[in-house]
Amino acid sequence: MKKLQITALLAVMAFSSFYAGVLPADNTSVVKTVADAIKWNSESIDVGKIPQGKPKIIRFEFTNTSSKPIIIENVAPSCGCTTADYTKEPILPGKKGFVEASYNAAAVGPFMKTVNVTTSDSKTPKTLSFKGVVAS
């Protein structure tokens, strides 16, 4: 039994030095690295009270923190009451881009809307949101 324990201990010690160079030393994950390719100034904006009948433009700005250009491939508002505009050219590393949502403030009352943004960096859309209250 003692031989088995010593063999197991030697095996653990032998492989621990092998895996020490393979596994990350800190808690940084690959998912976090990909997610950090775009740094949004804000992913949710509260516009407060806005007047009825006057469209409200909400601007989301971001910085490309990756080492390669990023292209916004698709911007999809959650409803027909919102239209979107965005940076059309590739956003170079370290440069800024934007997504704008124009909300048609036709109905009085509180609202919360989203815009899904798909980029060349990630095929999983990023959801940006904005909320407020339309006052008459």
Cα separation, 75 vs 84, in Å, equals 7
Question: Is the pLDDT reported for residue 71 higher than 70?
Answer: yes
- Tokens matching residue 117: 């943004």
- pLDDT band of 12, cuts 50, 70, 90: low
pLDDT of res. 29:
43
* Angle CA 125–64–131, to nearest 5: 50
Cα separation, 80 vs 53, in Å, equals 15
For the CA atoms of 48, 51, 57, 58, the dihedral, rounded to the nearest 10 degrees, stands at 10
> pTM of the entire structure?
0.72
